[in-house]
Amino acid sequence: MYLVSNDMTATLPARSSLRLVAGPGEQVAVRCTAGELWLIRDGDPKDTALTPSECITLADTGHIELYAITAAALHVTRCKPACAATGAAWRRRLWRWLAARSHGFGDAGR
């Protein structure tokens, strides 16, 4: 299960670029809705071209450069796994609960 953390729609003039940064554990989906895009990822020797209605999902942490070959429109969706988005909050609650029980506060309702 994935929780959407950010959606973005952008229009790029021809020969312009947009740089995206994917965080740890984050998936970034890029859909070209008009024009032509050239997608360049740091450390990846293979570049990708996107034309209208094509989409690519990237699951690596790093920088993504989107270059508009022609005037282009795109939609970006950022997703994080549900467990990664909520895991830290659950761990904090569990540690507070365990700490309270070890000091005898968890049995107050009994």
**What does the pLDDT look like over 20-33, one tens digit per residue?**
888 777 888 899 99
* Domain assignment of residue 110, yes or no: no
**Residue 109 lies inside a defined structural domain of this protein:** no
In a domain, 46, yes or no: yes
| Residue 78 belongs to some domain of the structure | yes
Question: 107 or 94: whose pLDDT is higher?
Answer: 94
Q: What pLDDT is recorded for position 86?
A: 53
Q: Which pLDDT value is given to residue 90?
A: 64
If one compares 41 and 70, the residue with the highest pLDDT of the two is 70
Domain region containing 42: 2-102
Q: Is residue 69 part of a domain?
A: yes
What's the domain count of the chain? 1
- The CATH number covering residue 29 comes to 2.60.120.10
Q: Say if 94 falls within a structural domain.
A: yes
Residue 62, domain member (yes or no): yes
**Domain assignment of residue 108, yes or no:** no
For the chain, the DSSP string reads -EEEEEEEEEEE-TT-EEEEEEPTT-EEEEEEEES-EEEEETT-S--EEE-TT-EEEE-SSEEEEEEESSSEEEEEEEEEEHHHHHHHHHHHHHHHHHHHHHTT-TTTT-
* Residue range 75-99, pLDDT digits in tens: 998 887 655 445 566 667 777 777 7
